[in-house]
Amino acid sequence: MKKDIYKNFKLIDHPLIKKDITILRDKNTNTEIFRSAVSRISNILAVEISKNFSLSGTKVQTPLERTNGFELKQEIILVPVLRAGLGMVDGFLQIIPDASLGHIGLERDEKTLRPNEYYLKTPGNLNRAEVILLDPMLATGGSASAAISFLKKRGAKKVVFACLLAAPDGIKKLFKDHPGIKIFGAALDRQLNKKGYILPGLGDAGDRTFGTI
């Protein structure tokens, strides 16, 4: 039976995302506008992802009486993949301001397209938290897959991956390597070119976020 590789992929279909993805794709968009569009899309992704957070009941005293309330059951940890994932952090923190942060530094080797790790720092309570891995680009899937492996090795049990553009190859790889991981994406692109860039894409997300073109 053919496996549905898109089973774990949720495309967030929203008019404002479509408008902002167009801004990101435009090669004439400058760094400032690029960053603000990434932030706005991240806001919407954060709202969508947080719909699945678990709650526990609590009591709250209003100025008038004691009543029932809610609190998040688990701590939320955001883990941006350096560099480009950093651009998504602000947008997520606006929606989940009390989240903790971990960081994973990965850089694709331009020839082999395999990710090299250069930094890893995560909060100690990964195993009890809901972890959201942030990286705007899911291309071959090598970086996201490696990042998820690091998180699992450090004890993470609940991980979701948030990206802006996803390519079919990357979705396929994550489905194969980490079938339990749900991917939330703002756009599903067509394919990769020979250099592993997403088509139609937006170019190099790190360079466009940090102005290193």
Which chain residues interact with ligand URA by CB under 6 A? Answer: 137, 139, 196-198, 201, 204-206
Tell me the closest approach of the beta carbon of residue 162 to ligand PRP, in angstroms.
12
The tokens describing 21, both together, are 């993805």
Q: 93, 79 in Cβ contact below 8 A?
A: no
State the binding partner of 201 from ligand URA, ligand PRP, none, CB within 5 to 8 A by kind: ligand URA
C-alpha span between 52 and 74 (Å, rounded): 12
Which residue number places its CB atom closest to ligand PRP?
A: 206
- Establish if 80 lies at the interface with ligand PRP (CB under 6 A): no
Residue 135: which of ligand PRP, ligand URA, none does it interact with, CB under 5 to 8 A by kind?
ligand PRP
State the binding partner of 197 from ligand URA, ligand PRP, none, CB within 5 to 8 A by kind: ligand URA
List the one residue from 102, 170, 185, 201 that touches ligand PRP (CB under 6 A).
170
120 touches, from ligand URA, ligand PRP, none (C-beta below 5 to 8 Å by class): none
Indicate if the alpha-carbon torsion angle 190, 195, 196, 197 is positive or negative: negative
- In the complex, what is the shortest distance from the CB of residue 39 to ligand URA, in angstroms, rounded to a whole number? 17
Q: Can you tell me which of 46, 79, 139, 159 binds ligand PRP, judged by CB under 6 A?
A: 139
By CB under 6 A, residue 84 contacts ligand PRP:
yes
**Please, what is the minimum distance in Å from the beta carbon of residue 77 to ligand PRP?**
18
168 binds ligand PRP (CB under 6 A): no
Under the phi-then-psi rule, with left for phi > 0, alpha for psi from -120 to 50, and beta for the rest, what region is 176?
A: alpha
Q: State the Cα angle at 41 between 39 and 44, rounded to 5°.
A: 110
Among 45, 88, 143, 201, binds ligand PRP (CB under 6 A): 143
Secondary structure of 54-89 in the HEC alphabet? CEEEEEEECCCCEEEEEEECCCEEEEEEECCCHHHH
The CA-atom distances, in angstroms, between 32 and each of 17, 28, 38, 126, 176 are 17, 12, 10, 33, 37
DSSP conformation letters of 103-114: EEEEEE-TTT--
Q: H-type helices in the chain, by residue range?
A: 15-25, 31-50, 86-95, 142-153, 168-177, 205-210
Please report whether residue 196 would count as binding ligand PRP according to CB under 6 A: yes
The footprint of ligand PRP (CB under 6 A) covers 81, 83-84, 106-108, 113, 115, 135-144, 170, 196, 204-206
